[in-house]
Amino acid sequence: MKKKTKIAICGFNLESNRFAPTCAESDFKENMFFVGREISDEARKDSPAIHLGVKGFYSEMNKLFGHDDDWIDVPTMVIGSCPAGPVEEAFFNGFLEQLRLKLLAAGPLDGVYICQHGAAVATHTHDPDGIMFDLIRKVVGDETPIVTTLDLHANISELMTSAVDVLVGYRTNPHVDMFDRGVEAASVLKEMLDGMQPEKYTIRLPLVAPSVTQLTAKGFPYGDLIRYGQEFLDEDIFNVTILSGFAFGDTPKNGMTIIVHSRSKIENARVVAEKLAVSAWTDRTRYVPKMTSLEQAVGLAQQAQQSAEDAPFLFADPADNPGGGGRGNTTYILEAFIAAGIKNCVFSVFYDVAAVELACKSGVNSEIEITLNSQETNEYSKQLKVKARVVSLHSGKFRGHYGMVAGTTADTGKTAVLDLGGITIICISKRQQCRSSDFISAFGLDASSFSSIVVKSRGHFRAGFSHLFSDDQIIEVDVPGLTSPNLSNFKWSYLPRPVYPLDNDTTWDLD
């Protein structure tokens, strides 16, 4: 009887902002928390709530092995939180122990797939991702293939690269290739099961790119670098991963990291990695962000309101991006737009549980007075008193059609649509960024009818609004927040220094 291939599936997904409130078990359970067979059941749904990398991995494994009965999946734990602060030590250690016991209970394994973000920090360590990878390696042994997929914002440590055989990073930002990278991970794992023994070479640069410069569309330096890297793929070089990293992790392992994988010779990987590193460093001045002042943004919104020819504009608030640990509720732009009398504008989405609760209690069409951020303590989440009419109330669950949420189920929690007298604000009770126009249309509004849209997002929204806005209609506004692209606004504790563009005199060359 043919022996079936037994593969464990696990994952821990957190992007930690060192300056944000700590991340607890409740943050994971609110967002993504699948254990055992819940993982495989969810991954096989048409519109899953689980990470699309897991869905892609299952899909490809079933194709490669002919039928899912020809391989045995061992789903352990796949969990994830909306980006937040450092994960609490007790919860993380408890997660590791549960994972260890599940892997041990599975018995001998033929391989492991890890669906990971890669930019977590914990209250007790800079490198929870590396600790997790090392634990898995110690349980399964040195000869068992381990492949991980990583968000391109991952901050890479030596422990991470030494514990895992192959690290497959996303190649798109906004991240619309998560499914594809899961497929690639399955394909690589199958090659290793068939005897391929990969080699890899890693280079970290003293380059910490501000978030708004990390887009991968044409014309952005990071996208140009990733596309250049893919030109080196051949019969020997099978994966080129370039990870821009996440500055707000504020760790010793920060810095753009290039990982090149070879099917046979580390020397081949080294040559490619060095070419890419030199190219990235030569291009470093392109990673200095160009932002629009709040005063200029107000003027553009007034212009769009007065002239249909100039409308519409999409204003992004990357400094309060929940996708990077922002609270999703600063009021700098909202207050300025109200003061300027801006009309026909929608803010999607604004995180305020208390505001939603008051709206639900008052009911549709009621007139209410709300103090936004009445329960917030973060220094940037200042209170703002407004008068509003409750337009509609919603459960917050919907199927996405555009960008990163296409083909998935999204959940903003209880949601209230409020009219502030010409400005519509969509208040949600599950913190997250607006990733597409679905976060407007799902609540009975027509995104194309507004002259101005404001989103609290760094870049993921672009894929989800590309059918409505060209790049020259998107305005990135420079206001304060936990995820400001202006890195000089922060007091760094662990970031390697000097580092570009924080330190203009930073130097680097090949040793």
Query: Does residue 247 sit in the same domain as residue 306?
Result: no
- Whether the Cβ atoms of residue 266 and residue 201 lie closer than 8 Å to each other: yes
Q: Which of 289, 309, 333 is the last residue of a domain?
A: 289
Query: Does residue 146 sit in the same domain as residue 265?
Result: no
Query: Does residue 56 sit in the same domain as residue 151?
Result: yes
Q: What is the pLDDT, as a whole number, of residue 511?
A: 76
Tokens of 88: 């609490």
Ramachandran angles phi, psi of 178, nearest 5°: -60, -45
- Positive or negative, the CA dihedral 154, 160, 163, 166 is positive
Query: Does residue 5 sit in the same domain as residue 24?
Result: yes
Burial 203-230 (b: 16+ CB within 10 A, else e): bbbbbbbbbbbbbbbeebbbbbbbebbe
Q: Measured between alpha carbons, how far is 482 from 11 in angstroms, rounded to an integer?
A: 26
In-domain check, residue 495 = no
Backbone Cα Rg of the chain? 23
Q: Measured between alpha carbons, how far is 378 from 506 in angstroms, rounded to an integer?
A: 33
Q: What is the pLDDT, as a whole number, of residue 307?
A: 82
Query: Does residue 139 sit in the same domain as residue 64?
Result: yes
Query: Does residue 184 sit in the same domain as residue 317?
Result: no
Q: What is the pLDDT, as a whole number, of residue 255?
A: 98
- Positive or negative, the CA dihedral 403, 409, 413, 418 is positive
Query: Does residue 42 sit in the same domain as residue 146?
Result: yes
Q: Measured between alpha carbons, how far is 311 from 308 in angstroms, rounded to an integer?
A: 5
In-domain check, residue 300 = yes
Query: Does residue 243 sit in the same domain as residue 100?
Result: no
Q: What is the pLDDT, as a whole number, of residue 409?
A: 94
Q: What is the pLDDT, as a whole number, of residue 3?
A: 81
Q: What is the pLDDT, as a whole number, of residue 68?
A: 59
In-domain check, residue 510 = no
pTM of structure: 0.92
Nearest to 164 by CA among 118, 125, 205: 118
Tens-digit pLDDT profile for the chain (511 aa)?
578 899 999 999 999 999 999 999 999 999 999 999 999 999 999 999 999 999 999 999 999 997 657 899 999 999 999 999 999 999 999 999 999 999 999 999 999 999 999 999 999 999 999 999 999 999 999 999 999 999 999 999 999 999 999 999 999 999 999 999 999 999 999 999 999 999 999 999 999 999 999 999 999 999 999 999 999 999 999 999 999 999 999 999 999 999 999 999 999 999 999 999 999 999 999 999 999 999 999 999 999 999 877 779 999 999 999 999 999 999 999 999 999 999 999 999 999 999 999 999 999 999 999 999 999 999 999 999 999 999 999 999 999 999 999 999 999 999 999 999 999 999 999 999 999 999 999 999 999 999 999 999 999 999 999 999 999 999 999 999 999 999 999 999 999 999 999 999 999 999 7
CA angle at 387 for the pair 382 and 388, rounded to the nearest 5°: 105
Nearest to 406 by CA among 371, 439, 453, 454: 439
Q: What is the pLDDT, as a whole number, of residue 318?
A: 97
Bridge partner list, 166? 147
Query: Does residue 322 sit in the same domain as residue 178?
Result: no
Could you say which DSSP state residue 280 is in?
H
Q: What is the pLDDT, as a whole number, of residue 1?
A: 58
Print the domain residue range for 273. 198-289
- Positive or negative, the CA dihedral 184, 185, 190, 195 is positive
Query: Does residue 258 sit in the same domain as residue 335?
Result: no
Q: Which of 197, 232, 255 is the last residue of a domain?
A: 197
In-domain check, residue 348 = yes
Q: What is the pLDDT, as a whole number, of residue 202?
A: 99
Total number of domains constituting the chain: 3
CATH number at residue 63: 3.40.50.10350
CATH number at residue 280: 3.30.310
In-domain check, residue 509 = no
Query: Does residue 477 sit in the same domain as residue 346?
Result: yes
| 38 membership: H or E segment, kind and range | helix 37-43
**Could you report how far apart the first and last alpha carbons of the chain are, in Å?**
54
Tokens of 449: 């009818």
- Positive or negative, the CA dihedral 187, 189, 191, 197 is positive
Query: Does residue 248 sit in the same domain as residue 298?
Result: no
Q: Which of 151, 177, 197 is the last residue of a domain?
A: 197
Tokens of 157: 């440590």
